[in-house]
């Protein structure tokens, strides 16, 4: 009887495996979005906070190249003005080879003394002294805005959380070519182990200094 029971269990297991999809692409058309992540207000200490404006250049953020990015610029310009009024440390980056601070959007222009990271790829910590720069300034919290969401925001934001920084991520400051990549960036930041506990997902107008 025991042998029959074991064989039955094996048969049921095989049947279950046979019914399971082989991979997520086999299920793609049947997948549903999870509920939208909760947005929370973010109160930060100006002296220990940096505002990151990643890759907002004429090459990457325009009505022609990335209209979703262009639509977010007015709100980010307001956030930048509020941050500057509180003497918040502002850090920029550029994304394309040969670009520099002159290519940053006029509405978000860097000032003399603002660091501008060169093209470093999705994770601005790799191959740079970015972390040392932040720690030398006593920075503990990063407000991260950037284009594209699924590169600079996802990877730099996630890595910042893993390195012990608090991360404030406004959903109206992370843009891509389409809504889906912005959505999965937002979802990942507040659901990934060891990252989620350090991230506050918010909107620009919910950030205060």
Between strands 49-54 and 141-147, the pairing is parallel
- Can you give the pLDDT at residue 76? 98
Here the tokens at position 9 are 């269990």
Give pLDDT tens digits along the chain (209 positions): 444 444 444 444 544 445 566 799 999 999 999 999 999 999 999 999 999 999 999 999 999 999 999 999 999 999 999 999 999 999 999 998 889 999 999 999 999 999 999 999 999 999 999 999 999 999 999 999 999 999 999 999 999 999 999 999 999 999 999 999 999 999 999 999 999 999 999 999 999 99
- The distance of Cα 109 from the centroid of its chain, to the nearest Å, equals 21
pLDDT at position 19 is 59
Q: Are 190 and 90 in contact (CB under 8 A)?
A: no
User: What pLDDT is stored for residue 21 in this prediction?
Assistant: 66
Domain ranges of the chain: 44-208
According to CATH, what is the number of the domain 44-208? 3.40.50.850
Three-state helix/strand/coil letters over 77-124: HHHHHHHHHCCCEEEEECCCCCCCHHHECHHHCCCCCCCEECCCCCCC
Q: Provide the pLDDT for residue 8.
A: 46
Pick from 99, 22, 73, 52: which is nearest to 175 by CA?
73
Predicted TM-score (pTM) of this structure = 0.88
What pLDDT score does 22 carry?
A: 75
Instruction: Give pLDDT, residue 7.
Output: 40
């Amino acid at each position: 009887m025991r042998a029959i029971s074991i064989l039955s269990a094996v048969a049921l297991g095989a049947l279950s495996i046979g019914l399971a999809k082989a991979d997520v692409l086999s299920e793609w058309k049947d997948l549903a979005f999870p509920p939208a992540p909760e947005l929370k207000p973010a109160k930060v200490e100006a002296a220990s906070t940096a505002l990151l404006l990643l890759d907002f250049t004429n090459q990457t953020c325009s009505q022609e190249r990335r209209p979703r990015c262009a639509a977010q610029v007015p709100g980010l310009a307001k956030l930048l003005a509020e941050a500057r009024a509180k003497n918040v440390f502002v850090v920029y980056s550029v994304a394309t080879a040969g670009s520099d601070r002159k290519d940053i959007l006029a509405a978000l222009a860097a000032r003399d003394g603002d660091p501008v990271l060169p093209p470093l790829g999705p994770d601005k910590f790799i191959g740079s002294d970015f972390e040392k720069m932040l720690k030398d300034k006593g920075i503990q919290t990063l407000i991260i805005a950037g284009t594209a969401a699924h590169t600079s925001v996802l990877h730099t934001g996630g890595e910042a959380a893993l390195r012990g920084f608090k991360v404030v991520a406004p959903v109206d400051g992370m843009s891509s070519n389409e809504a889906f990549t912005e959505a999965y960036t937002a979802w990942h930041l507040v659901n990934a182990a060891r990252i989620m506990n350090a991230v506050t997902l918010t909107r620009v107008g919910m950030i205060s200094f």
